[in-house]
Amino acid sequence: MNIYLDHAATTPVRPEVLEAMLPYYSNIYGNASSTHGFGREARAAINASRDSIAESLGCRPGELMFTSGGTESDNTAIFGAAEALREKGRHIITSQIEHHAVLHACERLERLGYEVTYLPVNPAGLVSVEDVEQAIRPDTILITIMYVNNEVGTIQHIEAIGELARRHGVLFHTDAVQALGHVPLTLSELPVDLASFSAHKINGPKGIGALYIAPKVKISPLLYGGNQERKRRPGTENVAGIVGFAKALQIYGESMHELQQNLEKLRQVLVDGLESQLADSFVINGDPVHRSPHILNVSFPGVGTESMLMNLDLEGVAAASGSACTSGSLEVSHVLKAMRLPEEVTASAIRLSFGYGNTVEQMEEAVQKIATIVRRIRIK
């Protein structure tokens, strides 16, 4: 039995989503910017999908800009805000555990003359709200803190940080890619100015995402060349992808409570099984309370991350490290480094993430395979 436990990286497209998309690859293929009937049909699909996504996210349709995914959304938010507000200031606040789409964008801005404060986190991966407040300066123009960490699943205090940003008149962006479908979101009620999303994390297609832009927030575009997306993101729209995104989010919205309960159950089966098989010889990384149910980051001291992943792959289990791969070898996760965990923990961590298609039986089999590999390697 092959077992896919890397849903935080990407997810399988649900059959209903694929079915909704197929007509836009065959019969309804017009360019949504065209004025003829083919184009108008495509435009109608985009408008209906935007309305549906906005309803699911609790915002207005005009506040959503479609992108190619989370990375573009993050980059657009950060570079767009930095450019639009450069006369006001050039200081940005982020955290040490952000996705590289945020960290690398901030590093680029530093090379362009901006200053960036990279906030630390505690051993559970939480950013201190007090640290955020202390870092704010008169020239601070943007705070960007992710909602749910993609490696350990820790949920940040987004509302508290957002309220703080508003009191100081600072724009607040959150990378909500891993939060989508796992944390209830009503954007009109959240103190968030910019939020990034991606469809392929919720059983939608790859290559489509969205950036929420709150009313009155001005950002400069990354791209130029057309009037699409209110001149904020030119280019021919990915109609099939947008339709698929809307369908995937609709499914999540209709059964979110049930889905989260199932994910909690799968996670608990894994944890209980590991405790039964390996007692206290493993460590769970991340916050035990403020966490998303779909991610379990766990370390097996004495068993290197690379060895564990390779052996799991040979056994038909797909997992991940969350670490960068350079020249064929894994680097220690920047997230776990920032959490200041012991070296034996950071060097043996793997990420198990689950979702649609996973079963209790798969979790039980995965536990057996993991335990067998751990025992075999530790004996050597």
pLDDT score recorded for residue 324: 56
pLDDT per position as a tens digit, 201-229: 999 999 999 999 999 999 999 999 999 99
Average pLDDT over every residue of 117-123: 98
Q: The tokens of 67 are what?
A: 């992108």
pLDDT per position as a tens digit, 21-65: 999 999 999 999 999 999 999 999 999 999 999 999 999 999 999
pLDDT score recorded for residue 280: 86
Q: What is the DSSP letter of 143?
A: E
Average pLDDT over every residue of 236-243: 97
Domains of the chain: 3-11+256-379 (3.90.1150.10), 15-254 (3.40.640.10)
Residues with catalytic annotation?
A: 325
**Phi and psi torsions of 351, nearest 5°:** -110, 125
pLDDT per position as a tens digit, 153-190: 999 999 999 999 999 999 999 999 999 999 999 999 99
Average pLDDT over every residue of 284-288: 97
Cβ atoms 333, 323 nearer than 8 A: yes
Q: Look up the pTM and report it.
A: 0.96
Q: At residue 157, what is the residue type?
A: H
pLDDT score recorded for residue 327: 42
Average pLDDT over every residue of 290-306: 97
| C-alpha 284, offset from chain centre | 20
Confidence of residue 351 (pLDDT cuts 50, 70, 90): very high
Cβ atoms 345, 335 nearer than 8 A: no
3-class secondary-structure state, position 180: coil
Residue 290 reports pLDDT greater than 90 = yes
**b/e sequence 252-274, b meaning 16+ C-beta within 10 Å:** bbeeeeebbebbeebbebbbebb
Burial of 39 (0-12, 13-18, 19+ CB in 10 A): middle
Q: Where are any strands of DSSP class E within the chain?
A: 3-4, 64-67, 91-95, 115-119, 140-144, 171-175, 194-198, 209-213, 283-285, 295-299, 317-318, 325-326, 329-330, 349-353
Q: How far apart are CA 154 and CA 183, in angstroms?
A: 12
Q: Are strands 64-67 and 209-213 parallel, antiparallel or unpaired?
A: antiparallel
Burial of 34 (0-12, 13-18, 19+ CB in 10 A): middle
Residue 17 reports pLDDT greater than 80 = yes
Q: The tokens of 359 are what?
A: 């079963």
Residue 306 reports pLDDT greater than 70 = yes
End-to-end CA distance of the chain: 27
pLDDT score recorded for residue 329: 55
Q: CA dihedral in degrees (292, 296, 297, 301; nearest 10)? A: 150
pLDDT score recorded for residue 326: 44
Q: What is the rounded average pLDDT for all residues in the chain?
A: 95
Percentage of the chain surpassing pLDDT 90? 95
Picking from 165, 217, 178, 177, the residue whose alpha carbon sits closest to that of residue 194 is 217
3-class secondary-structure state, position 142: strand
pLDDT per position as a tens digit, 62-108: 999 999 999 999 999 999 999 999 999 999 999 999 999 999 999 99
